Amino acid sequence: MKKLFYPLAIVTTIVYIVLFLNIKSNWVFNLDQWASDLLMDNKFLGFFHYFGEPAFVVVVAIVLLLVLWIRDHNYRGMFFALVTIAAGNVLNQLLKVWVQRPRPDIPDQLKSFSFPSGHSMTGILYLFTLAYIATEYQSSKKVKIITWIGAVVLTVLIGMSRVAESRHFASDVLAGWSMGYTWFIIAVIWYERRKRIFKELSQKKIEE
């Protein structure tokens, strides 16, 4: 990945920490209220929550694992997907229980905690994982750009859908995106390091 993506993870980590430490502050309340007034009951945005539903993400993850296994037995890629998507979801649940922020007060609201948004965090994780794997050996710069733009746009729409349907506050969504991106980059750093080590070992065997 481009080196610019790595320091961005530092920024997203800071964003998450700031939101966490100021979760009850006036400026976070005002941000949430502004976003709610802007997006509430937007039917177009509401549709995109389906792309962040746990069942949908699980199906996508299973298909991805099967493709990686059948295509070239890419066990390292399979483990990478498990770390980003599965472990990322576990991390999201742990953070929710730790923070214990109630969801927006509406009829028939979900019972789980609100901060950070699970749809937003797992959404960015599975979409960025798909984009990363799909473009890993792609030579066309145009295809890479289009793929990543698609992943980013759908990630944003999934997050906004949670505010539109009053399932989350905007700060929950921002926190989900932030922690999701941070976790994704941590996994990428590990993956690329392992790939580089494997390549060096393979080169040594050839030379011997």
The pLDDT > 90 percentage for the chain reads 75
| Mean pLDDT, range 47-69, rounded to an integer | 94
Instruction: Tell me what the pLDDT averaged over the chain comes to.
Output: 91
DSSP states along the chain:
--TTHHHHHHHHHHHHHHHHHTTTSHHHHHHHHHHHHHHTT-HHHHGGGGGG-HHHHHHHHHHHHHHHHHHH--HHHHHHHIIIIIIHHHHHHHHHHHH-PPPP--TT--SS--SS-HHHHHHHHHHHHHHHHHHTT---HHHHHHHHHHHHHHHHHHHHHHHHTTSS-HHHHHHHHHHHHHHHHHHHHHHHHHHHHHHHHHHHHHH-
Q: What percent of the chain clears pLDDT 70, i.e. is strictly above it?
A: 93
For the chain, the domains span: 5-207
Full-prediction pTM beyond 0.85? yes
pLDDT score of 194 = 79
Residue 117 has pLDDT above 60, yes or no: yes
Q: Is the pLDDT of residue 121 over 90?
A: yes
CA 163 – CA 146 distance, rounded (Å): 26
Most confidently modeled range among 103-117, 138-152, 155-169: 155-169
